[in-house]
Every structure is written in C-alpha cells, then in structure tokens.
C-alpha cells in the first residue's frame, strides 16, 4: 500500500513538472516555417503575403499573431493533459492538436486548416 502511494505521488509530481515545463517552453516568439494541408505543402508567402508569420505567447496567457505588419491579439490555454492548444482571437476559439512540441519546434494540427510547424525565434540577449 505504501509503495502504491509513493508511486502515485511520484507520478503526480512528474505530471505536474511536465505540464509546467510545456507552458514555460511555449513562452516567446515562434515563426511559421511549414504548413501542410491534405498532404501538400502550402505557400506561406503566397497565402499570407509575407514570410514573416509569427505567434507570440506570453506568461499571462495573452497571445499575439503577427503577419507582416498586421497584429491580432488574443488569449491561449492548454488542455488539462497538454495535448491541445486553444487560441482565442476576436472571440473565436481555435483548438489545435499538438503533434510535437519541444523548446525549439512545435507542430500542431487543426482539422480544417492542416498541420503547422513553428520554430522558436532566438531573440538576441539584452545588454544591461
């Protein structure tokens, strides 16, 4: 019985750590580098009229979509099990399935739009 409780406590700690790490790794600026719909790669530049397509995630759960010089603000949150990311912009929530996610690369799918690959933008360090 004690071993079972210890195992459950360990599992809970690991699960909480993974969840916190996932949110922490999301913070920052991400650039769209690939978009695949129905098995075919889409032209990011052609569709958005810019190759400067970014998502910026802040620790206060706010979100900004940057497409060229356009900016759209919203909010974001993960599902309880961190398998889905919901972005709400202009009152419309869009829920993406997270296919892959680490500190440098994020791949997510929305059934009607396809699969999107984002790379983390390495911001230059500020000199203080």
Residue 8 lies in a domain: yes
How many domains would you assign to the chain? 1
Q: b/e string for 4-21 if b means 16 or more Cβ within 10 A?
A: eeeeeeeeeeeeeeeeee
Query: Which residues have CB under 8 Å from 81's CB, separation 6+?
Result: none
Q: How far apart are CA 120 and CA 103, in angstroms?
A: 7
Strands 40-41 and 28-37: antiparallel
Domain CATH code at residue 50? 2.40.128.280
* Of residues 126, 109, 102, the one with CA closest to residue 26: 102
DSSP state of 73: E
- Residue 127 inside a domain? The answer is no
Tens digit of each residue's pLDDT (9 = 90 or more) over 115-125: 999 999 987 66
CA distance 53 to 43: 12
Per-residue confidence (pLDDT) for residue 30, from 0 to 100: 95
Query: Which tokens belong to 50?
Result: 């810019």
- Residue 24's pLDDT band, with cuts at 50, 70 and 90, is confident
Whole-number Å distance between alpha carbons of 87 and 76: 4
Range of the domain at 116: 2-120
Residue 67 lies in a domain: yes
Q: Is 53 helix (H, G, I), strand (E, B) or coil?
A: strand
pTM, to two decimals? 0.77
* Per-residue model confidence as pLDDT tens digits over 76-127: 999 988 899 999 987 789 999 999 999 999 999 999 899 999 999 987 665 6
pLDDT digits (tens, 9 = 90+) for 26-59: 999 999 999 999 999 999 999 999 999 999 999 9
């Amino acid at each position: 019985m004690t071993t079972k409780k210890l195992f459950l406590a360990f599992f809970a700690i690991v699960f909480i750590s993974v969840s916190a790490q996932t949110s922490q790794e999301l913070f920052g600026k991400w650039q769209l580098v690939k978009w695949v719909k129905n098995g075919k790669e889409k032209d990011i530049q052609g569709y958005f009229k810019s190759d400067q397509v970014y998502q910026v995630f802040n620790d206060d759960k706010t979100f900004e979509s940057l497409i060229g010089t356009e900016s759209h603000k919203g909010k974001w949150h993960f599902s309880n099990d961190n398998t889905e990311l919901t972005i709400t912009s202009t009152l419309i929530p869009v829920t993406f399935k997270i296919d892959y996610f680490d500190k440098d690369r994020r791949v997510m799918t929305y059934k009607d739009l396809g699969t999107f690959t984002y790379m983390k933008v390495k911001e230059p360090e500020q000199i203080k």
